[in-house]
A and B are shown apart, each in its own frame.
Chain A
Amino acid sequence: MKYVVVIGIEVHIQLKTGTKIFCGCDTGFGAEPNTLVCPVCLGFPGVLPVLNQRVVEYAILASLALNCKITPLSRFHRKNYFYPDLPKAYQISQYDEPLAVNGYIDIFNGKGEKDEKDEKKIRITRAHLEEDAGKLIHSGEGISLVDYNRTGVPLLEIVSQPDISTPQEAYDYLTALKAIIKYTGVSDCNMEEGSLRCDANISIKPAGDIALGTKAEIKNLNSFRAVEKALTYEIQRQTKLVDSGGSVVQETRLWDEKKQITSSMRSKEEAHDYRYFPDPDLMPIQISQEYVQSIQETIPELPQTKAKRFVSQYSLPEYDVHILVADKYLADFYEKTVHLLANPKMVSNWIITELLCLLGEARIGINDCQVTPEHLSKILQMIEIGTISGKIGKDVLLEVFKTGMPPEQIVKEKGLVQITDTNELESMIDKILQENPKAVEQYREGKKQALGFFVGQVMRMTSGKAQPEMVNKILQKRLE
């Protein structure tokens, strides 16, 4: 049977504040266990949590960037459950009065490549504040170790409507969401450090049906690719199940990255009853229109607006733009470089094919590398005016990347200036032709590939410093 797939995604982002949401403990990552805790986040009796105002500011900023409406009055609730990751036996969260509601983001199918672009709106139901829980390490011997450093770290949970129809769209939604949040600067969105986490809900229903099918919730998704793969697996699993007369059970399933499957958590089937009630320790949050407006004004240009501007201002292909604007700092690097060297496409090519490759190999971001827009523009300028060849340019870039030395100095010290002296090249070429009579003969007999061999020889002799067009021209003339 033909099925329609319905996917909704919950994302938790850690807001990049200095302190926790309800106490002054440091939110730093990687500290020794239980060294960033105090009576409030340990849930000692009689303590009073007090809301961090920057948490509210950052959450509003992120919510506005996701086109949400900010609720004039919102409130914290206690979500009650017993599990050792929460020392209080409840999590302070928001329930029926969240901070923000009714947002959306636009995603593009086809990723801006040549195929037909299909813009789709994914609605966001709500964005609400909550505190993170602690970390459990399940060791052997029937013991779990608990570290409460993360307890009370501020999180914004962003819940999408079930508007997502394919694993690819889920991937695109997450990528777009991450880019937007990173642009606002309120979160690092680093999955490895847990500052971005996501769960997916997925169900299938026969095409044409209105009622939704029973959903499964997928957890333990450690990358956006894992989300895509887990959802693809889950569609197959649910389809097979329903086709063979079975039915999907509402449950939480864990993605197993090694086996590439999801499997049931097999937790007790008793439905959770969190008995939410308003937290009496925390006063409601009242947000004025003026405050929302003042934060709205600080929102930087967001990825999609920037993408549209790049296309019109720099006449770049969608493909280039898609890559450049995915990272705000990369986009800034691009613009600064173009400002110094007005050749938008050349700059884009070098960033996308050369610089990103170096960054990828070193596993670092643009801000952590030694190459500056000044360096790159200088290299490209030297190529444009013929001081160095494009090939040498790549070597120079690698050297700048490694050492941070100015490119002019590298070119000078290593003697990389391009040979543009015709006489010098001519005598070199004559020598090569003399030494390779066989290849000359082959060329004259019609084996035009021999030309490549000669060019290679010249490049070897000059360590790549000969200008390829010039070499070609002289070779052809000599071989006629």
Chain B
Amino acid sequence: MVITKKEIDRVCSLARLELSSSERDEFTCQIDSILGYVAKINELDTSDILPTSHPIPLTNVMREDEIGESLQIEDVMFNAPDAGRGYFRVPKIIE
């Protein structure tokens, strides 16, 4: 096992996921197998290779500071489960 059940619990808690005990076992196995596959790369010497955050060597993709169109309020709220007076309404969370 590359990953422990404890780590799975932590990842779940960060992702706000609640798993049943059987789901936890199932996903632990699956993630373990994925990590095991990716770990194959450790067989190579990568000490001279920089981490690749983008596959294409592009920099400075930018736009001019020109105002474009914003959405109409009806469209903004179209998919909102709850809204009122122009605001999204969400359960109160005070961090």
Contact = CB atoms under 8 A, between A and B. Distances in A.
A405 B74 CA distance: 50
B88 interface: yes
B67 A146 contact: no
B87 interface: yes
A25 B92 contact: no
A137 B19 CA distance: 32
B64 interface: yes
Given A144-B90, A148-B88, A37 B76 contact: yes
Contacts of A80: 14
B53 A278 contact: yes
B5 to A, nearest CB: 18
B49 interface: no
Contact of B92 (A19, A75, A144): A144
B42 to A, nearest CB: 20
Nearest to A24: B68
Contacts of B93: 83-84, 144
Interface residues of B, number: 33
Residue of A33, A138, A283 most packed against chain B (CB within 10 A):
A283
Contacts of B85: 33, 145
A54 B54 CA distance: 24
Contacts of A33: 85-87
Given A35-B73, A37-B76, A146-B87, A52 B63 contact: yes
Interface in A143-201: 143-148
Interface of A: 17-19, 23-26, 32-39, 42, 50-56, 73, 75, 80, 82-84, 137-139, 142-148, 265, 267, 273, 275, 278, 280, 282-286
Given A19-B65, A24-B68, A144-B93, 15 more contacts: A17-B65, A34-B86, A39-B71, A42-B71, A50-B61, A52-B65, A53-B62, A53-B64, A82-B16, A143-B89, A146-B87, A147-B87, A267-B95, A282-B61, A284-B54
Interface of B: 14, 16, 53-54, 58-71, 73, 76-77, 84-95
